[in-house]
Structure 1
Amino acid sequence: MSHMQDLLIGIDAGTSVIKAVAFDLGGRQIAVASVLNHYALGRDGSARQSLSQTWDDCARALRDLGTKVENLARRTAGVAVTAQGDGTWLVGARNRPVTDAWLWLDARAAPSVRRLVQSPLERQRFERTGTGLNTCQQGAQLAHMDATSPELLDGAEVALHCKDWLYLNLTGVRATDPSEASFTFGDFRTRRYDDTVIESLGLTHRRSLLPEIVDGTETTHPLSAEAAQATGLLAGTPVSLGYVDMVMTALGAGVHAGGAPAACSTVGSTGVHTRAVSASDVVLNAEGTGYVIALPIPGIVTQVQTNMAATLNIDWALRMAGDLLAEMGCETSHADLVQRIEGWMQKSQPGALLYHPYISDTGERGPFVNADARADFIGLSANHRFPDLLRAVVEGLGLAARDCYSAIGELPAELRLTGGAARSKALRAVLSACVEAPVRVSAREEAGAAGAAMMAAVAIGAYPTMDACIAEWVTPLLGEAEAPNADLVRTYRGLFPAYAQARRALVPVWSQLADQRNAPASAPDLEPEHTEQTLLAAQSAERSA
Structure 2
Amino acid sequence: MTNHQPLIIGIDAGTSVIKAVAFSLKGEQILVASVRNTYHTTKEGAATQSLQQTWLDCAQAIADLGKQLSNFRERVVALAVTAQGDGTWLIDADGQPVTDAWLWLDGRAAPTVAQLQSLDGERSRFEATGTGLNTCQQGAQLAHMVRHYPELLDQAATAFHCKDWLYFNLTGIKATDPSEASFTFGDFRTRQYKDEVIAQLGLNDYRYLLPPIIDGSETTHPLSQSAAELIGLKAGIPVSLAYVDMVMTALGAGVHTQDDSVSCSVIGSTGVHMRSVADQEVYLNDAGTGYVIVLPVPGKVTQVQTNMASALNLDWLLNVASELLAEFGIDADNKALIAKIEGWLNQSEPGQLIYHPYISDAGERGPFVDANARASFTGVTYRHRYPDLVRAVIEGIGMAMRDCYEGMGGAATELRLSGGAARSAQLRAILAACVGADVRVSLREEAGAAGAAMMAAVANGYYPDMNTCIAEWVTPLLGQSEAVDPNLTRIYDNLYQAYLEQRQSYPHVWQTLAKQRDFACAANGQNSTHNKNDASGRAPDFCANNQ
Tell me the TM-score normalized by structure 1: 0.96
User: 1:391: which partner in 2?
Assistant: 391
Which moves more between the two structures, 492-501 or 506-515? 506-515
Query: Structure 1 residues 87, 73: closer, same or farther in 2, change over 3 A?
Result: same
User: 1:357: which partner in 2?
Assistant: 357
- Alpha-carbon distance in 1 for matches of 2:242, 2:261: 23
Query: Structure 1 residues 203, 484: closer, same or farther in 2, change over 3 A?
Result: same
8 Å Cα contact 1:40-1:533 kept in structure 2:
no
Residue 165 of structure 1 and its aligned partner are, at CA, apart by: 0.4
User: 1:246: which partner in 2?
Assistant: 246
CA-to-aligned-CA distance 1:461-506 (integer Å, 9 cap, x gap): 0000000000000000100011111221111011111100000011
Deviating above 6 A after TM superposition, structure 1's stretches of 4 or more consecutive aligned residues are 526-529
8 Å Cα contact 2:179-2:295 kept in structure 1:
yes
SS class of match (2:368) = coil
User: 2:35: which partner in 1?
Assistant: 35
- Alpha-carbon distance in 2 for matches of 1:309, 1:521: 25
- Alpha-carbon distance in 2 for matches of 1:196, 1:527: 40
8 Å Cα contact 1:16-1:539 kept in structure 2:
no
SS class of match (1:263) = strand
User: 1:331: which partner in 2?
Assistant: 331
User: 1:291: which partner in 2?
Assistant: 291
Please give the residue correspondences for 1:34-433 in structure 2 after superposition, counting only pairs within 5 Å.
Answer: 34-433=34-433
Amino acid across the alignment from 1:466: M
CA-to-aligned-CA distance 1:43-72 (integer Å, 9 cap, x gap): 111111000000000000000010121111
8 Å Cα contact 1:5-1:74 kept in structure 2:
no
SS class of match (1:43) = coil
Structure 2 unpaired stretches of 5+: 541-547
Q: Count the aligned residue pairs.
A: 536
8 Å Cα contact 2:518-2:527 kept in structure 1:
no
Residue 533 of structure 1 and its aligned partner are, at CA, apart by: 8.1
8 Å Cα contact 1:258-1:471 kept in structure 2:
no
CA-to-aligned-CA distance 1:230-287 (integer Å, 9 cap, x gap): 1111100000000000110010010112533311100101000000000000000000
Residue 323 of structure 1 and its aligned partner are, at CA, apart by: 1.4
8 Å Cα contact 2:362-2:533 kept in structure 1:
no
- Alpha-carbon distance in 2 for matches of 1:505, 1:468: 47
Residue 443 of structure 1 and its aligned partner are, at CA, apart by: 1.1
Structure 1 unpaired stretches of 5+: none
8 Å Cα contact 2:252-2:474 kept in structure 1:
yes
Output the aligned Cα RMSD.
1.7
User: 1:505: which partner in 2?
Assistant: 505
8 Å Cα contact 1:109-1:144 kept in structure 2:
yes
8 Å Cα contact 1:121-1:196 kept in structure 2:
no
SS class of match (2:48) = strand
1:464 has 2:464 as partner: yes
Amino acid across the alignment from 1:391: R
User: 1:538: which partner in 2?
Assistant: 537
8 Å Cα contact 1:104-1:137 kept in structure 2:
yes
Amino acid across the alignment from 1:174: K
- Alpha-carbon distance in 1 for matches of 2:35, 2:204: 38
Tell me the percent identity.
62
- Alpha-carbon distance in 1 for matches of 2:103, 2:153: 16
CA-to-aligned-CA distance 1:373-422 (integer Å, 9 cap, x gap): 11111111111111111111100000100000011113111111111111
SS class of match (1:212) = coil
CA-to-aligned-CA distance 1:126-163 (integer Å, 9 cap, x gap): 00000000111101111111110100011000000010
- Alpha-carbon distance in 2 for matches of 1:441, 1:56: 35
- Alpha-carbon distance in 1 for matches of 2:215, 2:473: 20
Query: Structure 1 residues 338, 161: closer, same or farther in 2, change over 3 A?
Result: same
Query: Structure 1 residues 528, 88: closer, same or farther in 2, change over 3 A?
Result: closer
- Alpha-carbon distance in 1 for matches of 2:203, 2:396: 39
CA-to-aligned-CA distance 1:7-58 (integer Å, 9 cap, x gap): 1000000111100001010000111100101111111111110000000000
- Alpha-carbon distance in 2 for matches of 1:427, 1:364: 22
Amino acid across the alignment from 2:366: G
SS class of match (1:464) = coil
- Alpha-carbon distance in 1 for matches of 2:521, 2:471: 60
Amino acid across the alignment from 1:472: E
- Alpha-carbon distance in 1 for matches of 2:351, 2:533: 38
CA-to-aligned-CA distance 1:493-536 (integer Å, 9 cap, x gap): 1111110000001111111111112226464347899xx9864x
- Alpha-carbon distance in 2 for matches of 1:389, 1:520: 29
- Alpha-carbon distance in 2 for matches of 1:5, 1:482: 36
- Alpha-carbon distance in 2 for matches of 1:241, 1:4: 26
Residue 423 of structure 1 and its aligned partner are, at CA, apart by: 1.3
- Alpha-carbon distance in 2 for matches of 1:482, 1:82: 32
8 Å Cα contact 1:271-1:308 kept in structure 2:
yes
Query: Structure 1 residues 520, 332: closer, same or farther in 2, change over 3 A?
Result: closer
